[in-house]
Amino acid sequence: MKNLKIQIVVVGGGAGGLQLAARLAARYGREKFDIILLERNRTHIWKPLLHEVAAGSLDANLDEVGYGAHAHRWGYRYFQGALKGIDREKRQVIVAPLLDVDGSELMGEHRIRYDYLVLALGSVSNDFGVEGVKEHCLSLESRRDADGFRQRLLNQCLRCSRRLSLDPGAEEYVRIAIVGGGATGVELAAELYNAASALRYYGLEVFDEKRLKVSLLEAGPRILPALPEKLAEAALGELEALGVDVATGAQVSRVTEEAIETKDGRRFPADLKVWAAGVKAPDFLKDIAGLETNRANQLIVKASLQTTRDNRIFAIGDCASYTAPGASHAVPPRAQSAHQMAGTAYHNIRALIESKPLKDFTYEDKGSLISMSRYATVGTLMGNLVGGRMAIEGRLARFVYVSLYRMHLMAIHGSIRGLGMIFMGHVNQVVRPKLKLH
């Protein structure tokens, strides 16, 4: 037992988990430490890009990161599997059986020992118990979701184009309803029009953006509540100019196969329905292993990002809830929060190993940016400045938005490889098709 390596297990390979696993492996290597990433998917893609994958504007095959290759590059071990439970007494994570596509078992339930455990499981859509959401709405939580939406979208466009070719005067449209006027809903709505405008050049000669009818439903009084009202109004103007039907104060009461219905009696017929109205931590995290959680299933953490009932277990990203002293709200579930939490968790795990003082997590709001495809970009920058936020629009906002993804690439790949990925991204914009249609 004395020869056992110190084992650090990171569960979840999202923005924060992948960054943390790479940094820990780069710091400690494999001689006395064993860094393990447990993730049920085989590849990683930056979640804020999923709306582009869904619309076909981004080929995920070019931007995704294979966990196996990334693990080899940085020196950690990647295990494919899903967390089922935690045995705190034995310090083991319980991994659910791994199944093949036909449902047969590839690997049975097993356990992985840990000395320190980091839960970075991200979030899932919160349907708030609304009738029909699970049965009739799509979400954009993973690449699989985005690929599925794109295939359904293309099929609807093909169906519409075929009918128009037979009857040019037919009233045929592809109707899409998006619930949630936050970043995901707004960005997806705009990206759909960008994709539709290009389809005529890829075989659908009688189809264009005029045959697209997109409804964006927001329960609150305005879209993009995280942005200043002036910028939200600018975004609203851009959406309406594209043809998006933006409905505010639209609290959904029921979703059927044909339409989305609201409590005030409105009805929005749709061929495709997307739920982007809120997030929560996965349901299985609720009170997992006796750890403290909130109503959204998030693990309550201390300033050190250690869970309140076990100092060997950390939680970061969307699955963690931390409210700083004197703050009125918890840290928001955003990619920048996950990256910042990964940095603090890395410092504090090192501190525990090296018997040094821990540091408190301090969230620095870098602002919010919303990209409406090629049409517009709006947002706020450096929200922690004294005196308030800096509102930005146009080319500057677009440059900063793109820079966020570049920073993500640098964080998970390192400077040299990250710069190479950025360069290849520019090359692909020139030589690759504008849309992914398969």
pLDDT of residue 432: 46
Three-state DSSP at 97 gives coil
Q: Which residues in the chain come in under a pLDDT of 70?
A: 1-3, 200-203, 367-370, 372-409, 413, 415-438
Instruction: Characterize the bridge pairing of strands 390-393 and 376-381.
Output: antiparallel
Q: Which of 114, 76, 75 is nearest to 94 (CA)?
A: 114
Beta bridge partners of 272: 176
Q: Give the span between the Cα atoms of 297 and 275, in whole angstroms.
A: 19
Q: Give the span between the Cα atoms of 272 and 286, in whole angstroms.
A: 31
Burial class (CB in 10 A: 0-12, 13-18, 19+), 54: buried
pLDDT of residue 369: 65
pLDDT of residue 383: 46
pLDDT of residue 269: 97
pLDDT of residue 2: 56
What are the chain's domains?
6-123+281-353 (3.50.50.60), 133-278 (3.50.50.100), 367-431 (no CATH)
Please report, as a single letter, which amino acid is at residue 252. V
pLDDT of residue 364: 87
pLDDT of residue 301: 98
pLDDT of residue 385: 38
